[in-house]
Amino acid sequence: MGPLYLFELASSQARWLELRQSTIATNVANANTPGFRARDVEPFNKVLDGTPVRLAMTSPSHMQLSAAETDTRATAKKDSWDVVHSGNSVSLEQEMIKGSDVNRDYSMNSAIVRSFHRMLLSSAKA
């Protein structure tokens, strides 16, 4: 595995979060449209599936984990909660939960980038 580019990864996740928020907004806007089916984007961990991150063993006393113990890629696809008589599958409650997930993930992404930026600046000053 090559180097892990944190800022590139954070930027990629921010673009994914933007797309997911737009999809959620479209679902909410069409909550009363007959026959509209709720949509969602593929999970972000699908982007990371091709590059599993292995723990670095920098000392012989470190424990070695197998690939199965470090694999965190398994996810379950969730369907919409209900379909109403008009054929619309948008659940406003579910969309609000997704929206708060996007908000939380974006806040975490921003905090991590700020922390690494501060570390880079402090290492450049030293």
Residue ranges of E strands in the chain: none
Burial label for 20, CB within 10 Å (0-12, 13-18, 19+), is buried
CA distance linking residue 69 with residue 46, whole number of Å: 18
Please give the pLDDT value at position 76: 41
The overall average pLDDT reported for the chain is 78
pLDDT tens string 51-69: 555 556 677 776 665 554 4
Share of the chain above pLDDT 70, in %: 68
* pTM assigned to the model: 0.67
Q: Is the model's pLDDT at 103 over the cut of 90?
A: yes
